[in-house]
Amino acid sequence: MNLIYGTYNPAKVASMIQMLEGLDISITGLACIDTRLKEAEESGKEPLANAKQKAMCYYKQIKRSIFSCDSGLYFEEVNEEDQPGVLIKRIHGQNLSYSEMLTFYSKLAKNYGGKLTAYYKNAICLVMNEKKIYTYDGADIYSEKFYIVDKPHKKYVEGFPLDSLSVDINSMKYYYDLKGKRSKNLGVIQGFKKFFIKSLKEYGGDYDESWKGSSSTNG
């Protein structure tokens, strides 16, 4: 199964490929499309609304199976005016670059004593055709809770600036310093796998046998 991930961010494409390892899905980003597409408005107040806007916007332009994701970042200890939600990059009406995001959230953590308890609320929309549209924003694709801290890790990946500030609550280690799959994706791998298995089974019986095999490996 070939699917397009509705993003121009190569780091997000690579992350999703890693999360879906073991499934019979080949993923490419929007960079594989010959022409630059009009980007979605993303005016929703929740991640699912924005994921649907993006997926439908891109599907209408290319008429190929595509999915889009969106996230909101939420902190436990901040004042309401400092709660980013879906406006992770758009702060006080200004779209921040990745380096500016790193600086902004580092300073925000410092303002609250050096660390903030955070989690990502994630959502996904898969558009196979005009009538077969699958959406999900269940808690099993939310990230686990973690800390955003004021001192960045020395490792930095363009496209995921806040990963450099992300610290595992239990070990108090940066995720970049953890080993194996615990070092990536903040605990959401199985949730995304289950979404694709369930959605593609519902989409067509032709895929049932391959998904049964994948499902058994996911537990």
Cα angle 159-162-167, degrees, rounded to a multiple of 5? 135
Q: What is the mean pLDDT of residues 25-53?
A: 93
**Is the pLDDT confidence value at 196 over 50?**
yes
pLDDT value at position 186?
A: 59
Provide the pLDDT confidence category of residue 40 given band limits of 50, 70 and 90.
confident
Domains of the chain: 2-218 (3.90.950.10)
pLDDT value at position 93?
A: 84
CA–CA distance, 180 with 163 (Å, rounded to integer): 16
The neighbouring-strand residues paired with 120 are 73
Alpha helices in 20-120 (DSSP H): 47-62, 98-111
Q: How many residues does the chain have?
A: 219
Three-state SS string across 74-88, please?
Answer: EECCCCHHHCCECCC
pLDDT value at position 218?
A: 29
pLDDT value at position 185?
A: 58
Averaged pLDDT score across all residues of the chain: 88
Q: What is the mean pLDDT of residues 169-197?
A: 80
> Residues 37, 62: contact at Cβ < 8 Å?
yes
pLDDT value at position 60?
A: 96
Q: Which amino acid is at 151?
A: K
